[in-house]
Structure 1
């Protein structure tokens, strides 16, 4: 049985094989995205030409350490492809993302891209989204009111489960954009589109980790090889 690191590397190499030289590339955040960054760095050192835009400060630092040429999204506001990981992906290429805390910037970069490729090991494929807690990036002002709004939304959809403030040790986790994250353990989200619309209607919610209609292809690595899901 291949270990998780090997599967991430396998998915990363398969995604890189689809990339054309000279593209403007969005680069994701998280452990699987880091596997891709290391693969990309090896090819850049061998002469592969690319301009990257990072979805987080962490990703930007690693890319620069590996010699990958980086730009800001303001410098390259139109991207050819984004390669990123996912916490869950279903058969319609709907995603839950944000386990690494970069969901807002990940969504902005993906939206600026002509194509989004998700890389993951095959355990991230699910029938119904929601076993992974849904990250919801929120403004610190009015946190309790926003929390109660999320809980009411869940109740109207027949969902329950803990909604907890993400922390690092005893302190709240702060995103690169200065926001907080609430992780909502719904267990299952049978109607992701309805959930997305309801969450977007709450003023205190900056963004949520449901990525719907954004992923063009998922590259899923398993012990028997790579499977590609396409929209």
Structure 2
């Protein structure tokens, strides 16, 4: 019986062709396996980085909660700056060891995770710069140092809030990926619209009431 390729190729050429096809198929299988392995390793690395960042941010957010001053403590601290040029011992907020270590790998994180994480660490960096500047400033300019100290406390609140947001997004990413993050954002938007819808009638009623008064009776004008 004549082989289908006999009219076109000699038996040795047919054997070489078949061998080449087997080799090519083997390369494709190996390449596919390597691709799956690399994708798995990359995902494991992404997960490890997110877990490490979550742990670092969580620890710092807890510390920021402990550092919060009430109104009386704030007034006392500001008064000491103005009267004595004294700055109380400021905490060390250089909480970015893990982030600094993986900075060159940040790009492999999910896009929806990068922004809140970077925003948080940017706030931490600003907070740290205030901690370094305040003691020297208090010795030179007490009034300016008092103002800067109040700004510093407000920055601590911002860092805490951005830390909570970064934690929320990291947890969503770890538990469900981009789909869970997007669902989270959609829920936030629905709640925002509901709040606006709930408060808008009252605000409009107040506006109509003010506009209905004679100009001389409008206390806000």
State TM-score, norm by structure 1.
0.20
Higher strand share: 1
Higher helix share: 2
* Higher radius of gyration, 1 or 2: 2
